[in-house]
Structure 1
Amino acid sequence: MATTNQNGGNRRPRGGRIRAGSSRRAQSEQTELHLLRTATWLFSERGFHGTGIRDIADAAGVAVSAMYYYASSKDELLEAVMRRTLDVLVSSGEETLRDVADPAERLAAVIASHVAFHARNPRAAKVADHEFHALTGQVRQDILQQRDAYETVWSSILSAGVHDGTFKDRGTVARLALLQMTTGVAHWYRPHGELKIPQLCERFAEMGLALMGASREGRALEACDVNLPDTQLLLRRAELTIEPREKPTGL
């Protein structure tokens, strides 16, 4: 989503910021948000390569020519969806882990944050997880770096727990297993199902502790033995404005 600098050149801001002047800014922001939500829905349903720019315009009820005011291509829409999704995922995790020092509580907290995000934002999470392969060039490198940094947080928690004897050493496969397990929530969780998000976060925290063989003084740790973050706070941190909460009206 390009802007024009004072010298007339194009500048592509991080995350696809709008170009409108102050008199039209509110309406432009709402239109951009509507387009991003529509793109997120379609990318999650059909995949990036299965979605055309006209598909997005038609579903959003916007002329294709008007779309180019906000994005030069569907690649730019995907970039905006990916950046905004990962920005919120990373920031919510950072906020949740702040001032938490114990490895077992840090693991339970990052699991709960990750699960809450994926349960609340399933479509955007699926796009971020499955459409990375469609990114190219510097954008791909930027997103990869952000993903790697997020996964490093998980690795450091596990390493610290192994070092102080809280966790068993499961090797690097433990991080992969935990992330795969918790990310999968976006694919099957339904708000009207058996478990609500608070119970879901607790169950996954308990499974994560069990997977790592977490213990204190020879006794296995369960979720009830650690301070889990408040779920409502997690959900506020995980709120993602581009997540479509309903089917686009044009579909």
Structure 2
Amino acid sequence: MNERSLTLTPEAPDRRGRILQVAGRLFSQKGYHGSSMRELASALGLTQSSLYNHVANKEELLLAIVDGVADEFLVTLEPVVRSAASPTAKLRSAVRVHLQIIAEHLETATVFLHEWKFLSATYRARVESKRGRYEALWREIIAEGVERGDFRPLKIEFTARWILSTLNWTYQWYSPQGALTAEEIADRYLDLFLHGLLKS
């Protein structure tokens, strides 16, 4: 894949962002395999041949979207984990920023969470590596909480995956016009993560 093929003409930053935005919307609504470059070109007001002046193929768009969201998750969580805050405060921040990314970038986050598996093996491995690094940051928060005695002696990997699975499923039902904001959803999740269902 030519990494320069998304480097566009003088209006490149805006045009590139627009292409990825519309591709994200299309992929999130119709799925990667259900979307065509012809549909994308039409949605952008371009001819198909003009679109290919900016991007080599459909997979390149998928990789750019997925890579971008993966990087956003990593860049946002790393300072939380490295901070001097308590494990509980880190967990609260981690949940909030994770849901904030999903809420603010719902279409591309949907592609990241659901369509990434359609990448070819080489690019899928690249994304899996980033996803693994991201999960490791969550394990660090939980392990620190267990070590300090703030959290019960939980199975670290299981707990991290449970929390992430819960958060990641939010894209399936969250709506910006819904009854709850992303922050309110985060607070409800945190109440369950930290206190469970039983009365204290």
State whether TM-score is above 0.5. yes
| Contact 1:118–1:186, Cα closer than 8 Å, also in 2 | yes
Unaligned runs of 5+ in 2: none
- Tell whether 2:194 aligns with 1:205: no
Deviations 1:169-191 (A, max 9, x none): 33232212111111122221222
Which whole-Å CA distance do the structure 2 matches of 1:114 and 1:65 have between them? 38
| Equivalent residue number for residue 79 of structure 2 | 95
| Equivalent residue number for residue 172 of structure 2 | 187
The offset of 1:136, in angstroms, is 1.4
| Contact 1:96–1:113, Cα closer than 8 Å, also in 2 | no
Q: Match of 1:50, SS?
A: coil
Stretches of 4+ moved more than 6 A in 1? none
What amino acid is aligned across from residue 102 of structure 1 in structure 2? S
| Contact 2:76–2:97, Cα closer than 8 Å, also in 1 | yes
What amino acid is aligned across from residue 48 of structure 2 in structure 1? V
Unaligned runs of 5+ in 1: 3-11, 214-219, 221-251
Which whole-Å CA distance do the structure 2 matches of 1:133 and 1:112 have between them? 26
| Equivalent residue number for residue 238 of structure 1 | none
Which whole-Å CA distance do the structure 2 matches of 1:141 and 1:66 have between them? 31
The one of 160, 165, 170 equivalent to 2:149 is 165
The offset of 1:113, in angstroms, is 0.9
- Tell whether 2:105 aligns with 1:116: no
The offset of 1:193, in angstroms, is 2.2
The one of 18, 27, 41 equivalent to 2:7 is 18
User: TM-score, normalised to structure 2's length?
Assistant: 0.89
User: TM-score, normalised to structure 1's length?
Assistant: 0.72
What amino acid is aligned across from residue 194 of structure 1 in structure 2? A
The one of 177, 180, 196 equivalent to 2:162 is 177
Identity %: 26
Q: Match of 1:189, SS?
A: coil
- Tell whether 2:36 aligns with 1:66: no
| Equivalent residue number for residue 138 of structure 1 | 122
| Contact 1:104–1:166, Cα closer than 8 Å, also in 2 | yes
How many residues are paired up? 197
Which whole-Å CA distance do the structure 2 matches of 1:76 and 1:41 have between them? 16
Deviations 1:186-231 (A, max 9, x none): 22122232222332222222222225x9xxxxxx7xxxxxxxxxxx
| Contact 1:97–1:109, Cα closer than 8 Å, also in 2 | no
- Tell whether 2:38 aligns with 1:54: yes
Residues 204-243 of structure 1 aligned to structure 2 (within 5 Å): 204-211=189-196
Which whole-Å CA distance do the structure 2 matches of 1:156 and 1:164 have between them? 12
| Equivalent residue number for residue 147 of structure 1 | 131
Q: Match of 1:184, SS?
A: helix
